[in-house]
Amino acid sequence: MHIAVVPARNEAGRIGIVLRNLLSLPLSYIIAVINGCTDSTLDEALNIKDNRIILLVFTEPLGIDIPRAVGASFAHKLGATGVVFVDGDMTGDFQLHLSSILDALKQGVDLALVNCYPYITSRQKLTSIVLRFRGLLNMGLGLYKDLGLASPTHGPHGISRRLFEIVPLDYLAVPPSVLVGAKKNNLNIKVVTSIPHSLLSSPARKRHHTRMITHTIIGDCLQALCICKGCTISRAYGKHDFDGYHSGRRFDLLLQWEVALAQSDTNYLNQHLLV
């Protein structure tokens, strides 16, 4: 059983396209995590009538990447053997690439990644900086030869049930840490396809958001390097501390969700679950 998890934060005009694209794939369920939306994202998702779509609705924002962990944990509860992550703003036509991820999970890959920057020799400055830190992490893990700059921090990717059960849940909310957990537990990590960033068709964002995302990813990579080395967790590099959106991640709400799932707390779960 394979399930897609779609985090969505104010993706009106896009979430419907993403969900319809996913419905063309052999997925048992598609879990959309409606993350503190203040627009019509929820209404748009509800308008798609298909019994494979499950909506997890949180009126209070969970913060960046927390919805991945929330959705993955519910997918595991449903019995998923593999989970594929697709952001709610990725409206591009890349279903064939997603099929490659699903096939890789069926064949025993535990962390199926994509290369979102193939064949590009000239990149924007912020992109180049982010890729530098992604490369530092992959080199620190001894994975650069096999993975290059690929990372679960960007683009669609998939995880196996085995990875979910071995790697701590909060690692899924800091995506580079998933690489560390997978490597330390000798799981099968592989780049299974290439999707040029432009093909994802994510909308252009304002410069402030782009800078904050950049700082978040850099800090995440630095944090993952600390886990890799077994040293005190830090998001600092030189004189700079790269927090970005990290401090807005609601690990407390993730813990509440995790406990509710473990205890089958139907009252709590029904507050957030729409089928």
Q: Is the pLDDT of residue 127 over 60?
A: yes
DSSP 8-state symbol, 144: H
Q: Which one has a higher pLDDT value, 274 or 166?
A: 166
pLDDT for position 68: 97
C-beta of residue 34 within 8 angstroms of C-beta of residue 111: no
Residues 131-144, mean pLDDT to the nearest whole number: 92
Edge to edge, what strands does the sheet with 157-160 contain?
189-194, 111-115, 157-160, 82-85, 2-8, 29-35, 53-58, 273-274
- Please give the model's pTM, rounded to 2 decimal places: 0.94
- pLDDT recorded at residue 155: 87
Q: With a cut of 90, say whether residue 22 has pLDDT above it.
A: yes
Quick one: average pLDDT of 180-196?
95
Q: What pLDDT does residue 124 have?
A: 63
Q: Chain centroid to CA 51: how far?
A: 23
Question: What percent of the chain clears pLDDT 90, i.e. is strictly above it?
Answer: 83
As given in the structure block, the two tokens for residue 100 are 């490659």
Supply 257's token pair.
């969700």
User: What is residue 216's predicted lDDT score, i.e. its pLDDT?
Assistant: 96
Inter-residue contact 4 to 30 (CB < 8 Å): yes
Mean pLDDT across the stretch 158-162?
A: 98
Q: What are phi and psi of 228, to 5 degrees?
A: -60, -40
